[in-house]
Amino acid sequence: MATRAFRFVFDAWESLFHKMFHLEEIEPGVEHLFFIAKRRYFGRPFVVEDVTVKSGDIVIELHMNNSVVERVLTKDENIVRAMVQLIRQARESMPVLAKAIEHEKYERAAALYGITFIHRGIDRFGFHTLPISDGVSKRITTWHLRNVLRILNPHANDIFSTHADVLEPKLVVASKRQIIELFRPVVGGQTLQDPTVPLDGSVNTREQYRIQS
C-alpha cells in the first residue's frame, strides 16, 4: 500500500513538474527519450566545443522521459544491458532532438544541458559529461535521482550496491550547433552521425570541454 501511495505521489509530481517547468516533447504526440525546455542556466561557467556558458545564459535544458527509462529498467534487471538499451533509445531520438532545437524559440540558446545518471556512452552523440561540484547541490541531486530510480526499479538498491560508479550523476552538455550538424538529416535521410559506431566504443573528448573556476 505504501509503495502504491508513493508511486501515486511521484506520478502526480511528474505531471506537475512538466507543467511548472514547461517541458516540451521533441516531437508532439510521439514518445522519445528526451523532453526539452528553454531555461536560464545557473551554475559554474563551462565551455563546450566553441561555446562558453555563464550563469544567466539561455540554454536548452534536457530531461529524460522517465516512462521510457522505467520501461527499459523493468524489462532488463541488468543495469549494463539496460544502459545499452537506453543508448539505443537515445540514438533514435537524436535526429528528432536536432530538428526540435532548430526552432526559433531556441534561437538564443547555444548549448544543451542536463543532469542525469544515464550518461554512459553519450559522448558519441556529441554530448560531454562534466562532474558536479561536491557540496550540498551534489548531495541533493544524488538523493533525488536515486529515489527516482528506486521508484522506477524495485531492484534499485541492489543496483546501487553493485554499480555505484555507473550511476553517478553528472552534468551533460553539448553545443547546439554540434548536435544539429551531427543529426540534421542530409541527402537520403541519413545523418552525419555514423549509426554503425559500436555501443561499447569510446571517444576521447577531454580536450573539447572544461569547467571554468
pLDDT in tens, 34-93: 999 999 998 889 999 889 999 999 999 999 888 888 788 777 767 778 778 888 888 999
- Give percent of the chain with pLDDT exceeding 70: 61
pTM for the full model?
Answer: 0.74
Per domain, the residue ranges of the chain are 2-211
Which strands make up the sheet holding 58-64, listed edge to edge? 24-25, 34-40, 58-64, 111-116, 170-175, 128-130
Helical axes 136-152 vs 66-75, angle rounded to 10°: 60
Q: Please check whether residue 112 is in contact with residue 176, taking contact to mean a CB–CB distance below 8 angstroms.
A: yes
Q: Which residue has the higher pLDDT, 64 or 202?
A: 64
Instruction: Give the whole-angstrom CA distance, residue 172 versus residue 43.
Output: 13
Reported confidence tier of residue 168, pLDDT bands at 50, 70, 90:
confident
Instruction: Give the whole-angstrom CA distance, residue 184 versus residue 189.
Output: 9
Which long-range contacts does 47-52 make (Cβ < 8 Å, 24+ apart)?
47/209, 47/210, 47/212, 48/111, 48/128, 48/173, 48/174, 48/175, 48/208, 48/209, 49/174, 49/175, 49/177, 49/178, 49/208, 49/209, 50/175, 50/177, 51/110, 51/111, 51/175, 51/176, 51/177, 52/212
**3-state DSSP call for residue 129?**
strand
> What confidence score (pLDDT) does residue 140 get?
67
> What confidence score (pLDDT) does residue 159 get?
62
- Cell numbers found for residue 44: 559554474
Question: How many Å separate Cα 202 from the centre of its chain?
Answer: 18
- Cell numbers found for residue 213: 573556476
